[in-house]
Amino acid sequence: MALTPEQKAVLAASAKGRKAMQDLDAAALVDVRKQYDEAVRDIQQMIAVVAGAAGAVSIAALPSLLLQIQARLGNLASARDAALNQGIDRAATIGTTPFTSTVNTAQLDHIRNDAVQFVKDFVGADKLTLSDRLWRIDRHANEIVNQAVQNSVVRGDGAAQAARDFLARGMRPPAEIDLAKDAATARNIGNSVEEGLMTGRGAPLDNAMRVMRTEINRAHTRAYQQGAAADDDSVGTQFMLSPRHPRVDICDMHARANLFGLGAGVYPHGKSPLPAHPNTLSFEVIVYRDEVTEEDRAGRQSVTEFLDTVPSKDRKGILGVNKNEAFEAGQLPASQVKSRWRDVQRRIGRQS
């Protein structure tokens, strides 16, 4: 059967919502990077002021400087959290908007509010809530900055004293001491702070951007899933890979397996695996009852049956190298496809 005009409108609005989420995601990441950039610039300015005309920070000035930096990092955390909350609210609204013609307004308001609260209460596999994750990011930032500043100042001050001792004895200080003296200069301390906060995987900026993307998308996913479930003519949602999906991973299985006889990647309400992992770019689309074909119903498969159809190189991406080897050896139960390798190892060890 053909879709009704209302159902076609929902699908068209869903596509617009995906574009709106792409824009929101991009803007949120730009915003959080800008916040961290500004904080680094401010901290570098604080260091320069404390260094003064001498150009270096003394140990005596260290406690006051660290208090100033701590206050600035606190302001950074508050601004970032405010932006995250705004993003979550906006994402939940985008998630419910496609259903304005098929679900009543009061129900959509409830779904939107539920999605926001769901994100705040959600406990991940690591047993952490959103507030726990943010607290860890901020603790890490404080530790990195404090260590960078203290180590630089202490190293520079010690080297300066050593250089004075050499000169007092009429000897030229070794080159390594001259280099170490520069550690306490405002420029070097500021560079160390910037590198620690902003550079590399696992840096506070990287972690903040990952949380921003993950939680904004979680809010949208929850709102869209619940809105779709409230549409009486729907049977579920289809897991879709983003055009920017970078490599084969577990999301490819979610998008390609026909586990419920509803079609490839289609899951009944409440069964969707989205979001499959942090930083996910995948999304889902409502599926109506009349879209499910007899071929879809006849093609239902188990996880193991699906994995048997996947080339080994792709299956390695889905499972990881170790679990793929266990699968090919007939030792990986379907229930542990998404388990951590160490948990699979324990089970294999017990079986053997």
> pLDDT (tens digit, 9 = 90+) per residue, 178-227?
544 455 688 888 998 999 999 999 999 999 999 999 999 999 999 999 99
pLDDT at 9 over 80: yes
- Going by pLDDT thresholds of 50, 70 and 90, the confidence category of residue 1 is low
pLDDT at 135 over 50: yes
Q: Where are the beta strands (DSSP E) in the chain?
A: 234-240, 266-268, 283-288
* 307-324 exposure pattern, b = at least 16 Cβ within 10 A, e = fewer: beebeeebbbbbbbeebb
Q: How far apart are CA 287 and CA 39, in angstroms?
A: 45
Any residues with CB less than 8 A from the CB of 4 and at least 6 apart, and which? 233
Please classify residue 200 by burial: count the beta carbons closer than 10 Å to its beta carbon, then call 0-12 exposed, 13-18 middle and 19+ buried. Answer: exposed
The phi, psi pair for 169, rounded to 5°, reads -95, 10
Amino acid (one-letter) located at 156: G
Residue 252: predicted pLDDT: 92
Q: What angle do CA 134, 40, 28 make, to 5 degrees?
A: 50
Strand order in the sheet with 266-268: 266-268, 234-240, 283-288
How much helix, strand and coil, in percent to the nearest 5, is found in the chain? 70, 5, 25
Q: How far apart are CA 38 and CA 216, in angstroms?
A: 23
Query: pTM for this structure?
Result: 0.85
pLDDT at 168 over 60: no
Residue 175: predicted pLDDT: 54
Task: Report whether 129 contacts 177 (CB < 8 A).
Answer: no
Q: How far apart are CA 196 and CA 189, in angstroms?
A: 11
Query: Percent of the chain having pLDDT more than 90?
Result: 66
- Going by pLDDT thresholds of 50, 70 and 90, the confidence category of residue 156 is low
- Going by pLDDT thresholds of 50, 70 and 90, the confidence category of residue 331 is confident
> pLDDT (tens digit, 9 = 90+) per residue, 270-313?
999 988 777 778 899 999 999 999 999 999 999 999 999 999 99
CB atoms within 10 A of CB 156: 22
- Return the residue matching tokens 């990195």: 144
Residue 170: predicted pLDDT: 60
> pLDDT (tens digit, 9 = 90+) per residue, 52-92?
887 788 888 888 999 999 999 999 999 999 999 999 999 99
- Return the residue matching tokens 């999605």: 115
